[in-house]
Structure 1
Amino acid sequence: MKKHVLLLAAFAALFVNFISCSNDDPKTSQVEVRLVDAPGDYDAVNVDIQDVMINRNDGDNGWQSIGNVTPNVYNLLELIGGIDALLVDSEVPSGKISQIRLVLGDNNSVVVNGETFPLATPSAQQSGLKLNVHQDLVGGVKYTFILDFMVDKSIVVEGNGDYSLKPTIRVITEATSGAISGMVNPFDYQVEVSAVTGAEEPIVTLTNEEGKFMLHGVPAGTYSVTFTPDEASGLSPKTVEGVVSVLGENTNMGTVELE
């Protein structure tokens, strides 16, 4: 009996987690982390990035991996002139995050005058490079964190000729979209909700069982939002003009009445 109770509890936890990450739930935000470089006087600077984590508080107990990270070695000196490296693009629970951490592997090196030297990273490998961000993530909004790796200030030549990495990284936070949410009435039938501006492709979602909807990742602009009920409902489509999406904000349309 105890085993069955534990299995049911585990299933319930998975079900709740699935619901919280659905497209109709406004309590998640899309986060991407990109790496760029301020140039340095080296042939190459290779950094082995294994994971990207976020912290919900200022202590050491709130760290969690963003997930969806492919470990890779990046030559920082290639990330200039508009070129960047996408480290992660994933959905995370909304709310405040205080820090981002890069976890490094062992394969770090610097190339000077054609010769490759190991790049020591004694603290970064164990605990990661901790970067303060202090950002409130709004549900349905996409955020980009740009990590500007300042190579000239980050590489130290030791007295014995060895090279160490003591990173200086500038963090730039961009809210790259907004969101549009609300609910429809009546909600006995599912309704397709689409937002369009100009000649752009529409952004589309469906209402949930409570009639609620959220259009995620909506670029800033003014939209026509169209509600198309299931044909079996007998309700007519309705379009609301002039709905404004603002970067970093959730535009709540309230309740839209269908007839």
Structure 2
Amino acid sequence: MKANISFLTGAIALATLLGLGRCGKDNDKAGAAKLRISLTDAPGDFRAVTLDVQRIELHLNPENDPNGWQTLPFTPQSLNVLEYVNGRSALLVDTDFDPGTPQEIRLVLGPNNTVTTRSGQTYNLKTPSGQTSGVKLKLQNVSLVAGQTYQLLLDFDVAKSIVERGNGNGNGNQNERYLLKPVIRVVAQDLNGAIRGTVSPAAALPQVLAIRSSITVPDTFSTMADASGAYQLWSLPAGTYTVKYFPTGTAPTGQAAYREATRTGITVTNNVTTVIDNTTLQ
């Protein structure tokens, strides 16, 4: 996932990379475009992160026009985003849509967002603005054309989205210990290069950064290895990457400390999953 992109601020720096993947399938409704929206996530150091998603809306008019929002067909539901990692995704919207040029997507969250820590304790997630105006993602140069299918992936970064406040809200209220400040990357399904691999020991639970160094301003995407030591970064642009591993776990007493590692010259190609052999962190 690309670092430092908060969709609560409405300033989505990645918007210039946005394109919606096209498939050559016919649509069910004559003269319509087919729109699919999915959610995926990078593993984080929690047991569960549940989002109470109430509505998904698409904005077709200019940004300053408050009347341009259209509600998409979506059943309100609670999603544990940590179930959709390492190549898995949740299909949120699959609908026919009139041709047009959408400007933004908005996710409206309910009040029942929670995080469950590794110790099994569950806390409510306080969302500073997502419950009122909704969580917005800006779109640029997106055009829904009749007869085409467009697939949009919302890549949620749980590690950056959950912010611990120390001892609650400052008044000793432990139920407000964590804030939800969602960080997301919007990617097109036609950007479908991927990197997959494993690390050992799995208990190192490293953050994995893939840095695309073959462009003037490097892109950085991140995930975390899961409890088995597996990781996957997908929807990557083609190019040459450096992959860095930063352990977040602590080695047991009497064992060598976990160490950082770097793999260089990793080539990513569209429609291909690049497999990195096991990386040892001890």
* TM superposition score category, shorter chain reference: 0.5 to 0.7
In structure 1, the partner of 2:155 is 148
Following superposition, the deviation at residue 81 of structure 1 comes to 2.1
Following superposition, the deviation at residue 32 of structure 1 comes to 1.0
Q: Write the deviation string for residues 103-143 of structure 1: whole angstroms up to 9, x where unpaired.
A: 11111000012000000113111111100122111111111
Query: What is the distance in 1 between the residues matched to 2:30 and 2:114?
Result: 45
**Structure 1 portions without partners, runs of 5+:** 1-20, 177-259
Instruction: Assess if the C-alpha contact under 8 Å between 1:141 and 1:175 holds in 2.
Output: no
Following superposition, the deviation at residue 22 of structure 1 comes to 7.7
Q: TM-score, normalised by structure 2?
A: 0.51
In structure 2, the partner of 1:92 is 97
Q: Write the deviation string for residues 240-259 of structure 1: whole angstroms up to 9, x where unpaired.
A: xxxxxxxxxxxxxxxxxxxx
- Divergent runs of 4+, >2 A: 21-25, 173-176
**Structure 2 portions without partners, runs of 5+:** 1-26, 169-176, 192-282
Query: What is the distance in 1 between the residues matched to 2:144 and 2:81?
Result: 28
Query: What is the distance in 2 between the residues matched to 1:121 and 1:140?
Result: 38
Q: Write the deviation string for residues 121-172 of structure 1: whole angstroms up to 9, x where unpaired.
A: 1311111110012211111111111000001111111243311100001011
Query: What is the distance in 2 between the residues matched to 1:116 and 1:126?
Result: 23
The structure with the largest strand share of the pair is 1
Letter paired with 2:121:
E
SS of the counterpart of 1:125? Answer: coil
Query: What is the distance in 1 between the residues matched to 2:114 and 2:183?
Result: 17
In structure 1, the partner of 2:187 is 172
Letter paired with 1:110:
V
In structure 2, the partner of 1:133 is 139
Query: What is the distance in 2 between the residues matched to 1:23 and 1:110?
Result: 40
Q: How many residue pairs get matched?
A: 153
Do the aligned partners of residues 61 and 159 (structure 1) sit closer, same or farther apart at CA in structure 2, a change above 3 Å counting? farther
SS of the counterpart of 2:101? Answer: strand
Query: What is the distance in 1 between the residues matched to 2:190 and 2:58?
Result: 17
- Give the number of the structure whose alpha-carbon radius of gyration is greater: 1
Task: Map 1:195-206 to 2 at 5 A.
Answer: none
Q: Percent identity?
A: 44
SS of the counterpart of 1:61? Answer: coil
1:47 matched to 2:48: no
SS of the counterpart of 2:102? Answer: strand
Query: What is the distance in 2 between the residues matched to 1:24 and 1:126?
Result: 36
Q: Write the deviation string for residues 181-203 of structure 1: whole angstroms up to 9, x where unpaired.
A: xxxxxxxxxxxxxxxxxxxxxxx
Task: Map 1:2-151 to 2 at 5 A.
Answer: 23-25=29-31, 28-56=32-60, 57-59=62-64, 60-67=66-73, 69-112=74-117, 113-134=119-140, 135-151=142-158
> Greater relative contact order: 1 or 2 (C-alpha under 8 angstroms, separation 6 or more)?
2
Query: What is the distance in 2 between the residues matched to 1:36 and 1:175?
Result: 16
Do the aligned partners of residues 175 and 141 (structure 1) sit closer, same or farther apart at CA in structure 2, a change above 3 Å counting? farther
Task: Map 1:204-243 to 2 at 5 A.
Answer: none
Query: What is the distance in 2 between the residues matched to 1:175 and 1:126?
Result: 33
Q: Write the deviation string for residues 62-86 of structure 1: whole angstroms up to 9, x where unpaired.
A: 111112x011111111101221111
Following superposition, the deviation at residue 175 of structure 1 comes to 6.3
Query: What is the distance in 2 between the residues matched to 1:63 and 1:29?
Result: 18
Query: What is the distance in 2 between the residues matched to 1:136 and 1:104?
Result: 26
SS of the counterpart of 1:58? Answer: coil
Following superposition, the deviation at residue 173 of structure 1 comes to 2.4
Q: TM-score, normalised by structure 1?
A: 0.56
RMSD: 1.9
The structure with the largest helix share of the pair is 1
